[in-house]
Amino acid sequence: MHAPSLTNFAWLCHAFSTRFGGQSVVYSKSQATGELNLGFTSSDDKANVIANRERFLAAIVADPQFPMVTIRQIHSDIVLRVDTPRTATEPGFVKADGMMTSKPGLLLAIQTADCIPVLIADTKQRAVAAIHAGWRGTLKRIVERGVGQMRLEFGSRTEDLVAAIGPGIGQCCYAVGEEVRDNFESQFSYAADLFREVEPTGPVKEKYPASFLATRPPGHHNPAVRLDLVEANRRQLLDAGLSTDAISVVRECTSCNTGRFFSYRAEGGFTGRMLSVIGIRPEKPH
């Protein structure tokens, strides 16, 4: 999958993967159809994931061995600068949730299965960033922090930035606890725009009756409270200075569309991982 905001630059490559087209079968409902699991999960064979990644890279940049940088994601606000291809051979080499580079010939890769991937490109300085934003990272303003670090590291101007928000869990499916709403309300003046309540009657209440009791242990999801994590990150891009027209949003809910995407929540934690990647194409020799 590609985003309109990032497709008009010949020097830039990017993509959001789906679950189609790989050779993993462990998460396939039929155990026969191959799927494109791109994460080194405990249930899938490492050789399958390597083959899937090579297939993915071949489709994006026509090179199955193209250097791709990954990180160990920890739901933080840490965004790192990556400048050497050496790190691309060391998956999980650091703990962080965002990367940025101005180095041609590297793909920055964020792994998701419901969380929100955000890709950013500086169209003048030719720098890029990839950010993983779950609710914890969003609460810590990781997207705003990432844009700020691009300004410091590369001299980026926000009017030159374009961004894309990839597929992730939608507000339709993302039930959260009351403490999550409280935390967002303490941090964002627009928090009320990010939440909606589902009327606690009918099938939802029948399916989750205990969730509607007056007392609920901290951390439990409340089916009545839904968070729009996509909009939360779009607002952070706007607050960081990007224009509305510079932001593309892939409005496909991973939880609603498990035939197309991996979804950690919808599949009870037993699922594969997708990659969202962005990079600068290698400079052609003169």
* Same-domain status, 187 and 70: no
Backbone dihedral region of 155: left (phi > 0), alpha (psi from -120 to 50 degrees) or beta? left
Q: What pLDDT is attached to residue 219?
A: 47
* Same-domain status, 113 and 255: yes
Q: What pLDDT is attached to residue 212?
A: 47
**285 part of a folded domain:** no
Look at strands 12-16 and 20-24 and give their pairing.
Answer: unpaired
Q: Indicate which CATH number applies to the domain containing 62.
A: 3.60.140.10
Cα dihedral 104, 91, 233, 273 sign: positive
As a whole number, mean pLDDT of residues 253-273 equals: 96
* Same-domain status, 159 and 196: no
* Same-domain status, 110 and 34: yes
How would you class 9 by CB atoms within 10 Å of its CB: exposed for 0-12, middle for 13-18, buried for 19 or more? middle
pLDDT digits (tens, 9 = 90+) for 80-108: 999 877 666 666 668 999 999 999 999 99
Residue 202, domain extent: 175-227
d(CA 147, CA 191): 21
* Same-domain status, 131 and 15: yes
* Same-domain status, 11 and 126: yes
Q: What pLDDT is attached to residue 221?
A: 60
Looking at the 3D structure of the chain, how many domains does it have?
Answer: 2
pLDDT digits (tens, 9 = 90+) for 193-242: 999 998 755 555 555 555 544 444 444 566 789 999 999 999 999 999 99
